Chains A and B, each alone.
Chain A
Amino acid sequence: MLGVVVAQIGVYAQTSGALGLPDHARAVGLSIDPTKHTLVMAVHPKCPCTRASLYELERIIAKSGDGLGIALCLYEPGLGDEDWYSESSGAIQERFPGADVIRDPDGVMAVKLGAVTSGSVVLYAPDGEPVFWGGITQSRGHSGDNLGSDSILSILRGDTGVTRSTKVYGCPITELGCEDPLGSCTDEDTDCDQRTEPNR
């Protein structure tokens, strides 16, 4: 019985979320600094797993210095639900000074980013081209070394041959499907955006 419980929790933590292909920054509607890379994270404000993603984001910021712009896309259900946004935006802004905190009713922007799972990030090059997308934790709610963060930092350093996408672990932001290049989506995700390349 104990084994079943342990297995349950293991399965839960290791199940990745849906991930789509991100659009170009312009197509998404992001105004990014053309002098540096910009990292955008889709955040479900109430998802407990996202705490680990935010912690990893802090580590990436600390290691990358000023050469990285940050934008956080805060999901809120429905239009004009002040509670979700107001409850979380202040804390986010305080935690990430200088970051753009974007209100995302119904996760519309998250869909455009392909970041339909809370904690998903998209790294845009200065020209607005997405160069990395996926998660920056290795399981649900667990911070620590992970492939996503390492890839982002490698890209920022100008390394080549770097992984461009990783699995993401977190709460789903929206039911809108996506094409999961890493196989996270199931066959039932019929509404997935079938794009194989980001929109230019």
Chain B
Amino acid sequence: MKPRRRKIKHPGDAILHNIAVKTDRVFAILLGVQFVAAILGAVFLTPQTWEGAESSTHIHLWVSIAMGVLLTGFPTILILRNPGAVLNRYVVSVAQLMYSGLFIHLTGGRIETHFHIFGSFAFLAFYRDWKVLIPGTIVTAIDHFARGVYWPQSVFGVFAPAPWRALEHTGWVIFENVFLSYSCIRSRRLVCDYAEHQSDLERINGLIERLVEERTQELEAANEALSKEFEDRKKLESDLLEAQKLESIGQLAAGIAHEINTPAQYVGDNTRFLRSEFGGILQVIEEYAKQLDKNKERVDWDTRSSHVRNTLDSVDYEFLRTEIPAAISQSLEGIERITEIVKAMKEFSHPGTDQAEPADLNNAIRSTCMVCSNRWKYCADIEYDFDDNLGPVPCFLGAFNQVILNIVVNAADAIEANLDTSNTKGLIRIKTERLKDSAKITISDNAGGMSESVRQKIFDPFFTTKEVGKGTGQGLAISKDVIVNKHNGVLECESNLGVGTTFTIELPLHAFSVQEQSDQMSDQSEAA
């Protein structure tokens, strides 16, 4: 036994059934309205028929009620029981066109009422089923032919229509129905095409959704990796900054050691001098003590004075009296110098904080310059022009110190290179000033400047004009990153070839750094 073939449902069937259900409902309402309209028409147009002074209810009213019950009731019951069923639309087609006949009769065969026929077919075309037009056409044809023979006036408006008149009327109905049928077929095809496309679209949508899901997962993974990379990069940048600081400290170590060594040396020399000369002082003191001893044999004043004077001469008291205080003062100065250097080192080596904190930039700049003084003091002088009203400026102090160090050391290196030809000490001018919303630091030198092509590259990573081993090319790149990204500030360089270079730093007084803002924003979004 052959397996029964299952009919594959077209995706458009559901839409067409839905259309049929909706059209059924529309017709159920329309038939109801026509029922009421027929009764009202009969009531208002032909309420009563008269015979002299006697009247009775006009037959039109009874006919309207009877036909209304049949033409509206039967199709409505079918629609309510099984909406969208094929039978419904054929019954509706018959009923609707019979209503056309009823209305034509009720209005005395008015030609205008014939438009009801054409309107009815147009409504029936809502089913998008050309076959539904057939029962209505048959009803209209029968109505016209039958009444054309037995009662021509009621349908044609003429008392003796030509035999072809019914044919002509039916022909016009068929004329309309040809177009409506074409429209139904085309519309049905469009619905089917639409349904197929919709089905394809849903399939594609499903595919896309799956792809999107996969891509989303990939993106999430990539985002996670990117976030990790970003964190790593941040850490790397931080490490790089720290490394550069350490590198600077390393490079400056010899100079700092020298700076500390010089005062330490003369503190040592002076201390040794004091130790060696302390014996002479003790000798003088002991001589005075001996001369003042009552138990000692009585000696005249001249003799005692002579002993003392001999002792003072032997220890070269005049020399000690002037040199010892000088040695002490010098030693204290040396110790102070060492203290200052250590303090500057300490300030420079500030580990920095996670958040910008108000700092005294004048002091920070001075400390940084002191730390690296060994790099510039032999070739240049530094001239400070600090704004006493600068006040505390929010910044990452450790990073800021590094920027100042980089610029000052670069200026000193440039002056030193220029010294080979001029033999004249250069000048580094550092100026601070408070603007309306920012603190401005200007560091200028008279090292002869640089060409425009060099100036354009100085902030590029690994770009350096220094000889191999002296510069890494990272200093100004890091400085730019620190000022622009970390402080949301400005770092600019102007250079006049043959004259000198000026670096300008501007730090906002009330703004967080871009990085800090982005961190805060990401924190907020994570919290949200």
B47's closest neighbor in chain A, by CB?
A48
Measured CA separation A108–B108 after assembly (Å)? 29
B 139-169 binary contact with A (CB < 8 Å = 1; else 0): 0000000010011111011111000000000
CB atoms of B105 and A9 under 8 A apart? yes
Contact flags B22-38 to A (C-beta < 8 A → 1, else 0): 00000000000000000
Q: Which range contains the number of A residues in contact with the other chain?
A: 35 or more
Separation of A47 and B110 alpha carbons in the complex (Å): 18
A147 to B160, CA, bound (A): 9
- Looking at the complex, which one of B50, B98, B159 makes contact with A138 (CB distance below 8 Å)? B159
Interface centre among B52, B58, B147 (most CB of A within 10 A): B52
Interface residues of A in 85-130 (CB under 8 A from B): 107, 118
Q: How far is the CA of A176 from the CA of B156 in the complex (A)?
A: 34
C-alpha gap A6/B142 in the complex (Å): 13
Contacts of B67 in A (CB 8 A): 2, 5-6
CA distance A174 to B53 in the complex (A): 8
Given A9-B105, A13-B105, A47-B50, verify A2-B70 contact (CB < 8 Å): yes
Bound: A77/B158 CA distance, A? 34
A1-45 contact mask (Cβ, 8 Å, vs B): 1 or 0: 110011011101110000000000000000000000000000010
- B49: which of A10, A48, A147, A174 is its contact (CB, 8 Å)? A48
Asked if B108 contacts A118 (CB within 8 A), the reply is no
The answer to whether residues A144 and B49 also contact, given A8-B59, A10-B150, A138-B153 and a CB cut-off of 8 A, is no
User: In the complex, A99 Cα to B63 Cα: how many Å?
Assistant: 36
Assess whether B208 is interfacial by the CB under 8 Å rule.
Answer: no
Candidates B51, B70, B109; contact of A144 at CB < 8 Å: B109
Cα A99 to Cα B111 with chains together (Å) = 28
Q: Which of B48, B70, B109 counts the most A-chain CB atoms under 10 A from its CB?
A: B109
Name A116's closest neighbour in chain B (CB-CB).
B52
Q: Is B359 an interface residue (CB 8 A)?
A: no
In the complex, A44 Cα to B98 Cα: how many Å? Answer: 31
- A141 within 8 Å of B by Cβ? yes
Q: How far is the CA of A188 from the CA of B51 in the complex (A)?
A: 16
| Distance A48 CA – B108 CA, assembled complex (angstroms) | 10
A144 x B157 contact (CB < 8 A): yes
Task: List the B side residues contacting A145 at CB < 8 Å.
Answer: 157-160
CA A172 to CA B154, docked complex, whole Å: 21
Partner of A141, one of B47, B48, B53, B108: B108
Shortest distance in angstroms between A50's beta carbon and chain B's nearest beta carbon?
A: 9
Contact residue among B59, B98, B109, B153 (Cβ-Cβ distance under 8 Å from A12): B59
Whether B66 sits at the interface, judged by CB under 8 Å, is yes
A78 adjacent to chain B (CB < 8 Å): yes
- How far apart are B342's CB and chain A's nearest CB, in angstroms? 120
B128 within 8 A of A: no
**A residues near B152, Cβ cutoff 8 Å:** 138
Known contacts A47-B49, A48-B47, A77-B53: A5-B63 contact under CB 8 Å: yes
B49 touches A143 (CB 8 A): no
Contact (A172, B109) CB under 8 Å given A10-B150, A14-B151, A48-B46: no
Q: Is A72 interfacial (CB 8 A cutoff)?
A: no
Asked if A57 CB lies within 8 Å of chain B CBs, one says no
**Set of chain B residues within 8 Å of A175, measured between Cβ atoms:** 51-52
Query: Is B454 located at the chain interface by the 8 A CB criterion?
Result: no
- A52 lies within 8 A of B63 (CB): no
Residues of B within 8 A of A142 (CB): 108-109, 153-154, 157
Q: Is A44 a contact of B50 with CB atoms below 8 Å?
A: yes
Residue pair B48, A46 in contact (C-beta under 8 Å): yes
Return the CB mask of A134-156 against B: 1 if under 8 Å, else 0.
00011101111111000000000
Is B421 on the interface with A (CB-CB < 8 A)?
no
Question: Chain B 81-104, CB within 8 Å of chain A: the 1/0 string?
Answer: 000000000000000001000000
Residues on the A chain within 8 Å of B60, using CB: 9
Judge whether B48 and A137 touch: CB under 8 Å: no
List residues of chain B with CB under 8 Å of any chain A CB: 45-53, 55, 58-60, 63, 66-67, 70-71, 98, 105, 108-110, 147, 150-154, 156-160
Given contacts A14-B151, A48-B58, A49-B46, 4 further A-B contacts (CB under 8 A): A2-B67, A5-B67, A145-B158, A145-B159
Instruction: Give A residues with C-beta under 8 Å from B.
Output: 1-2, 5-6, 8-10, 12-14, 44, 46-49, 51-52, 75, 77-78, 107, 118, 137-139, 141-147, 171-175
Please give me the 7 A-B residue pairs with the lowest Cβ-Cβ distance, nearest first: A77-B53, A144-B157, A138-B153, A145-B158, A138-B159, A48-B46, A171-B50
